[in-house]
Amino acid sequence: MTTKAIRGTQDILPGQVEIWQRVEESARRTFALYGFQEMRTPIFEHTAVFLKTTGESTDIVQKQMYRFTDMGGNDLTLRPEGTPPVIRAYLEHQLGQGRSIERYYYIGPMFRYERPQQGRYRQFHQIGVEVLGTESAHLDAEVIEMVMRWLRDLGVRDLRLLINTVADEPSRVAYRKALVRAQAGHLDELCSDCHRRHRENPLRVFDCKVDTCQPVIAQLPSIHDYLSDTSASHFERLREVLGSWGMDYEIDPRMVRGLDYYRETVFEITSGALGAQDSLVGGGRYDGLVAQMGGREVPGVGFAAGIERIVLAMGGQPEATAADVFVVAFDDSTVSAVHTIVHQLRAAGVRALCAAYDGRSKKAQGSAARRSRAPWQLVVGPDEVQSDRYTLRRLADDRRLECSGEALVSTALSLANEPAANPTGSESRNDG
């Protein structure tokens, strides 16, 4: 039997998963402030949903799709990214009526056949948003401001915001000609993938990571010399709004992002806390995509953030605890009292655990208590039951609190709500 997970996939175990939950809850909370609602689409779609949208010349479609034929002969693909499925659903359910502006977010796994390394996986998870129905550069700025705020709230360090434009169609026609000309003179210095990109979509040469191609790429013309008035003013407006909100950003004139549907604004957020795979968020505007998928001309803008990389960039987080209070039976005579106390604590909203099952010794229960990382312990012996006096003990510093049976639940509840007692576990309760 195979006992290992597939290369490039990971199990997210208790201890880690609480950090993931924190990232997700914080996204839900922040995005709700800006009027976003969640959309959940299937993790696989007809392959056609991605071919023309993500783009046939992109690395994703060329090399990275988990594409298969099912028993019914359907050509299907595990979603490599979230935008085309959201638009497919938007069209299928006729969600955009009149001039409405729709705001969605999604959270879930994506699949790309990549070379796995730290921060790069074959199954990874994205939190993304899409805004459909306006071409205003103000919205580009809004989603950028929202994602920066979310990452800062999470405590992600060393954030850097890079913006650029990939312009509108007329600018791109002119720019493409200039690129083809510039690349043609250096084909012998470019890799075979770049030759293909040069033929199919010369803009994609900027996606190349091969070292020997970089000197040529650095010499290619800049799109900023080919901007139409519309594209120049869209970019200018974005900069104005970001500037008026006091947001720091850098312009990276060579950033094109690896997806074909981007128009006008593109952006990326990186973190210095990461290694080589330092991109946390990628996004941009995709006017034209909805029409290309068979809908009306509905402009859109969005981004996708990688959860694995956000968790990495957040650095060491306190290990989560499985309980606030661990209740230990001193001997067999107090097992049922322990179960009653645990039951009452849970009913009052205290995360309570015990291991008084199958005749486990006090010592075995004590090691289960340590493994649970519960900050407080309550040992129930015949004396406690007899006198109806109980002592809650904090393991970290041996702080002790004695109370009557009647006050036990309320005492434990107030301890569980002390932030210092349980940094990860109690956060959601305090903030929620």
Nearer to ligand AMP, 25 or 114 (CB): 114
Other Cβ atoms less than 10 A from the Cβ of 150: the count is 23
Query: Residue 192 class from Cβ within 10 Å (0-12 exposed, 13-18 middle, 19+ buried)?
Result: exposed
**Residue in the block written with tokens 């039997």:** 1
Least distance (Å) from ligand AMP to the CB of residue 119?
A: 6
Nearer to ligand AMP, 228 or 277 (CB): 277
Nearer to ligand AMP, 79 or 373 (CB): 79
Least distance (Å) from ligand AMP to the CB of residue 147?
A: 11
Query: Residue 261 class from Cβ within 10 Å (0-12 exposed, 13-18 middle, 19+ buried)?
Result: buried
C-beta of residue 284 within 8 angstroms of C-beta of residue 257: yes
DSSP sequence for 38-103: E----SEEETHHHHHHH-TTSHIIIII-EEEE-TT--EEEE-S-SHHHHHHHHHHTT---TT--EE
The two tokens of residue 314 are 């957040």
Least distance (Å) from ligand AMP to the CB of residue 303?
A: 8
The two tokens of residue 48 are 């056609």
Nearer to ligand AMP, 175 or 303 (CB): 303
Sign for the pseudo-dihedral over CA of 288, 293, 295, 298: negative
The two tokens of residue 274 are 């990461």
Query: Residue 217 class from Cβ within 10 Å (0-12 exposed, 13-18 middle, 19+ buried)?
Result: middle
Least distance (Å) from ligand AMP to the CB of residue 162?
A: 11
Q: Which residues bind ligand AMP (CB under 6 A)?
A: 81, 112, 114, 119-121, 124, 126, 257-258, 279-282, 304-306, 308-309
| Residue 359 DSSP code | T
C-beta of residue 394 within 8 angstroms of C-beta of residue 376: yes
Helix and strand numbers, DSSP H then E, in the chain = 16, 16
Nearer to ligand AMP, 85 or 119 (CB): 119
Nearer to ligand AMP, 34 or 113 (CB): 113
**Residue in the block written with tokens 């990874």:** 124
How far apart CA 23 and CA 13 sit, in angstroms, is: 15
Nearer to ligand AMP, 121 or 326 (CB): 121
Least distance (Å) from ligand AMP to the CB of residue 60?
A: 7
Among all residues, whose Cβ is closest to ligand AMP?
306
Give the closest residue to 115 by CA, choosing from 188, 20, 236, 209: 209
Nearer to ligand AMP, 269 or 412 (CB): 269
**Residue in the block written with tokens 């993790």:** 43
Least distance (Å) from ligand AMP to the CB of residue 259?
A: 6
Main-chain dihedrals φ then ψ at residue 316, nearest 5 degrees: -60, 120
Least distance (Å) from ligand AMP to the CB of residue 382?
A: 55
Least distance (Å) from ligand AMP to the CB of residue 258?
A: 6
Nearer to ligand AMP, 115 or 296 (CB): 115
Least distance (Å) from ligand AMP to the CB of residue 109?
A: 10
Nearer to ligand AMP, 281 or 350 (CB): 281
Least distance (Å) from ligand AMP to the CB of residue 51?
A: 16
